[in-house]
Structure 1
Amino acid sequence: MQATRKLRIDFRMAKQLDYNTIREIFERFQEAEAEPKGELNHTNAYTLVVAVALSAQATDKGVNKATEALFKKVETPQQMLDLGIDELTDHIKTIGLYRQKAKNVMKMSQILVDVYDGVVPNSRAALQSLPGVGRKTANVVLNMWWQQPAQAVDTHIFRVGNRSGIAPGKDVDAVERAIEDNIPADFQLHAHHWLILHGRYTCVARKPKCAACLIRDLCMFEDKNL
């Protein structure tokens, strides 16, 4: 999951779509893929937290490549502590900011062992108290593992929310609130994945694939590439 703090918006702020249009958009998303899934590989709540933390300013594909061998050895915080920071660093050295991320993962693992008996907590506040875990990471874990309708806004969701008019906002916090406010409750659980996958493969940054877009007639992006 790529970071959002260096977003460069090359389009004008979209206007807000109305409720019925947003509902139709998500009905189409649901019809196309009823159960969208995240693309970060993991085996349990702990490996998911680690994977999402590692994905900051990195791609899911790159993280999956780095963690393939790691997660065959490590599935619990104690196993990560036993592995040690040097071996962890060696596993993830292809990921950006890997040294700091390795330190955070080790600190996180120690806290999980000492404070939470090795169990990943399922509250946003508790998750955010862990080193290397911000609101976005916490929301991904809450959504993917505990099936909570939490909305983690990354660069793809920020772009789609503004371009389409589904959830316009000047920053990630505003877009997160707009998603929660604008998208009908029955689509909230999977909204995160529908939007991120749409941004990753169709509504791409430089040249959106509008001709192949299933919501192109409903989208408010003025510079559609047809």
Structure 2
Amino acid sequence: MDAFEKVCKEYKITAVKHELTLACIKLEDTEKLQKIMDLSISIHGEMNSLYDLVFAFIECGKVRQAKKILETPGLRARHQRLENRCKRLLEENRLTELEQLVAITKDVFDIDRNRMFMYLFEGYRRKNDCDKVPWCVDNYAKRRISSLSEVLTFVPYLRYSGVTWWRDDHFLCFFTFSQRAFFYEKLISTAMMPPTAKIRVHDMDQ
């Protein structure tokens, strides 16, 4: 710890900060953890340091503590940091951590949920985990999709899942009338459903 502090103060870099942070979390050494945070903030700023701590807590399985940090007043989304983290978790096949990160960041100001859910979709596709695709799409849809272009993002994952759950009213109720019509048109054009398929549209949103 003394060597880390010396390097931080003399060279303005935080070498092995992540490893030290993980060790302090596992040992529940709050005093040293706070020291690491103070040094990090002096070099990288408060927001970047808080996100580093969030990622470390999730990695250690301390999701509740990570979520509490994200509730810090004034904390905004750091898009590039979150993008890089999602990409790393995906590439390292750490889907549980990715799921947790997506879950606890839902209320962060200015968060780009679209991109984060897309990483989850891709992770399930790579893992051949069909069962989780409906859950992920359903939660995505609950955000009240705002544009037709977003609807298109579902098509490859619905094709991949190979099931017909997307016809259920429980899922469809999150789409507007025009979005559903456009969605079905794309499904038919990609041969996911036959042109003669009878879809109940009489109870769509008006």
Bin for the TM-score computed over the shorter chain: under 0.3
Bigger relative contact order, structure 1 or 2 (CA pairs below 8 A, ≥6 apart): 1
TM (norm. structure 1) is 0.24
> Who wins on radius of gyration, i.e. which is larger?
2
- Higher helix fraction: Structure 1 or Structure 2? 2
